[in-house]
A and B are shown apart, each in its own frame.
Chain A
């Protein structure tokens, strides 16, 4: 038997744990340590599958977000009093925009605050991209209940098509060489064939899934009811998250209602579909450990103040998958011709 990989949901629990911790301003050092921890886990546990590249893309995206946050923070903001480092020319703004200004003195306090916020953004993006680099999206999809049939089709098609995108681009480039086309690259000439290519593939794959019985046992009415409940649970949970982030009371109630709805939705959903799994993704001790450390991470940052002890604990908790997760299953893949 091959080495198994951690359940995709466990990876997501880990990623979300880091993201929530980062959003609770645990301190600059903790943020940096979280990023380092995520990177360590990704590089020691990632597979050679295409989605493992998500992390590298995430890092780039995070850096861009950080840079944008810094530019905005320095040029455009509410004045923060303190130690002035340098002064940018001020752009006069109309009366009604009082309170905001463009340019003006840049204080060291402002720089620090902006950098910390930028770093928080960066860590959030890192956490999400780390989880998506580690969790096998296809296994994750198959762990979803059958209610999400249509979404499942769409997601499987898109995860399958992304690698083909690169080949499509390459093919169009080759075609231009073979036809002796030396004109400047026209967007339409490249985008249209690639789009057509992808559409054609998506249609073919959809037809193949349909004729191979995907959604064979779904009862339409049960599915509709189930997906309505699931949809409302997502809405309620989202409200809960926003209340929580905005530090408004009632978050706990919203969460509670959302979770109950989610459970009901899944129950209804599973009753309306009959699907079996050939090699079900197992949920064992290591998955529980990862989820537990993730919860511990969040509770720690919520109830403890910023201290060197907390920071160290955060770092070690974030590294938990290093200890328990098996390495991603390697699939035999040599370069195909």
Chain B
């Protein structure tokens, strides 16, 4: 279906070899995963297949890529539209029309498909993706998971043979992600579609894929590794917890799913039955001073109530994870804690002072905020300029921010434009800026979206170190593995209400959708992370 023949790609300005002489082919009906570090070229590989690279982005390409016999050299992306559907990282940015139904029909209109056929396909696709109730909705009101499904529907109506998806689940909560992935699996089985997914959240997609392409990036000379999931996972440093556990225990065959691992884990469960997981310091914290105090907080947007009467207290040294569906009110809660979300009633006290009375230096020395899109906080034109701004705003000695940045990320170029950094590098830059004022409380909104495993490990270390120093952290996230690693306390929001608040262990193990892989494998044992197990086994 898809064949790469001696394909090389370089971006001359970046002086980076993205790909060097790739040759491989993808048969019809395969579900292929592309993995690799951020900035290694996963998105470029997807865009090569439909010709957006280099037709739309520039870059120098050699070799030949054909899809069903059509070469991207001879055909522009729009001439491949009947063959290939592509859904970008942020599907809402690619919406052209106003309503769901119009959006789904847009591609077919361009292809010149007769009206009666269009009518039929729109109905079929609405049913296939469960979008029938949303057909008249304005696109701007869709949640993340809905937008993702609409974007998939919009390309499916063109009856493509190949579907390309760039990080389809990274912005979604576990349940919405599951929904999207099972739809993709169904498309492969029922329609014989060839699907290629680029994704960081391996723990979510691994069970669905037939083969993996591991993009090794510039350091490895633009090579890739392609193979069955077990082969690739056996060699890869980045792997979900289930694979790490499997490797550590020398399980054979290497388990890729919780189900496989559970069958192999019986001896381990017995061994761990006599050991107890390390105690997370959540109970001793209660006596420490309060950093954040939220009382009866109500946030309302026009007609929609985002938060209805939330109470929350965070003490020094706590790491609080806020979880819940897309649109449950997580971002509103974080935003009102720093005073960027207007509150309707209630009170938000930071270190005893109402948030809205704090400004400038007084604000940032209490609270540091890392927004969902790290770029939202950046307005400088180079890394160095950002650091200078941060030094001035936090009133610290010149060079302080850059020093912090260097600890987080030793090899960053100071003249690089912040927008050219990879997602992980950008997060480090924003963290350095925020930490320059040494805030007592750090708030992160969905920090691991777009982060690979190594960047995530670095983040985990930073957050743990902060908690050690007695500072507090609040993070809103869908990433249960991250929560399992760092959080001392978990809060669940639903429809603007707090529905659960308790220790990480208690909350995560009680909910099947939000349980981390390790706890699913070792249930009923109360284990959350791979590192807990290795530590406990070593002590014994």
Contacts and interface: CB of A to CB of B under 8 A. Distances in A.
Interface in B111-157: 111-115, 118-119, 122, 136-138, 140-143, 154-155
Interface stretch (A15-23, A26-34, A171-179, A259-267): A171-179
B381 interface: yes
Contact of B377 (A2, A178, A206, A337): A178
B410 interface: no
A180 B341 CA distance: 16
Given A217-B112, A337-B301, A179 B56 contact: no
Given A180-B360, A276-B113, A335 B301 contact: yes
Nearest to A331: B138
Given A182-B359, A192-B381, A210-B56, A276 B114 contact: yes
A33 B141 CA distance: 39
A196 interface: yes
Nearest to A212: B107
A278 B97 CA distance: 13
A105 to B, nearest CB: 55
B389 A213 contact: no
B162 to A, nearest CB: 12
B379 A278 contact: no
A196 B78 CA distance: 26
A335 to B, nearest CB: 4
A21 to B, nearest CB: 32
Contact of A193 (B138, B302, B364, B379): B379
A138 B138 CA distance: 14
Given A156-B96, A179-B389, A212 B81 contact: yes
B171 interface: no
Contact of B340 (A174, A180, A274): A174
A138 B119 CA distance: 20
A302 interface: no
Interface string A144-166: 00000000000010001000000
Interface residues of B, number: 82
A277 B117 CA distance: 11
Contact of A180 (B106, B394, B419): B394
A211 B141 contact: no
Interface in A157-205: 160, 171-172, 174-182, 189-190, 192-193, 196, 200-201, 204-205
A278 B108 contact: yes
Contacts of B114: 276
A334 B303 contact: yes
23 contacts: A172-B379, A175-B378, A177-B339, A177-B359, A177-B363, A190-B379, A193-B378, A204-B90, A208-B94, A210-B76, A212-B96, A213-B81, A213-B82, A213-B111, A275-B109, A276-B112, A278-B119, A331-B99, A332-B141, A333-B140, A335-B141, A337-B306, A337-B327
Interface of A: 2, 49, 138, 142, 156, 160, 171-172, 174-182, 189-190, 192-193, 196, 200-201, 204-217, 274-280, 331-337
